[in-house]
Homo-oligomer: A and B are copies of this chain.
Amino acid sequence: MSTLEGKMRGMSLRHALLGLLVDQPASGYDLLKRFDGSLSAVWPATQSQVYTELTKLAGDELIRVWKAGPRGRKEYALTDAGLVELRRWLTETKPTRQRRNDVLLRVFFLGVLSREQGIDYLDGLAATASRELDGLHKLEEETDWDDSDLSVYGRISLEYGLRYTAMRRDWAAWAVDQLTDRPE
């Protein structure tokens, strides 16, 4: 097998996959649906990427083929080494500082446009965030929250989304206000 040492900077897709395999074995196809669902808000991944990474993970013996099914289906299960690696990632690697925000980059250069256009842009941001917030509130109501780990930490993640989105809405509205008061 390959050394497993070496670079390994971000590599969070690996750990997302490992995390999803903790509870039960799953195929690439199964995992993909998880990425299209709840996880897409936090760590999107494409079909191509998932299958490629699963093969690499199996090569590194962090997961292994547990069961084969019809249509070439391969169910992967986490290995002991895989769980160790997941725990290592959670405890020993520090999160990479969140960067690269093209919304804010535009704000930086809004002076190139007219004051009115600048206000339009920020108004649009507020409206988008507002709509997004409605969706999250609906999601919160419609979900049955229990005491399972998934539920507890899922609820905490959702709360982040709620606060983050509300913050963006309020900030954009505040910015519009700042620009409206002031002469061109």
Partner of A109, one of B19, B160, B175: B19
Q: Are A171 and B163 neighbours in the complex by a CB distance under 8 Å? A: yes
Output the nearest chain B residue to A45 by Cβ-Cβ distance: B100
Q: Are B170 and A108 neighbours in the complex by a CB distance under 8 Å? A: no
Cα separation A95 to B112 with both chains bound (whole Å): 17
- Which size class do A's interface residues fall under? 35 or more
Cα separation A10 to B156 with both chains bound (whole Å): 31
Cα separation A157 to B7 with both chains bound (whole Å): 34
Interchain residue pairs with CB less than 8 A apart (16): A15-B109, A16-B105, A19-B109, A41-B99, A42-B101, A43-B100, A43-B102, A43-B105, A89-B106, A95-B125, A107-B153, A107-B157, A111-B153, A159-B175, A160-B171, A167-B167
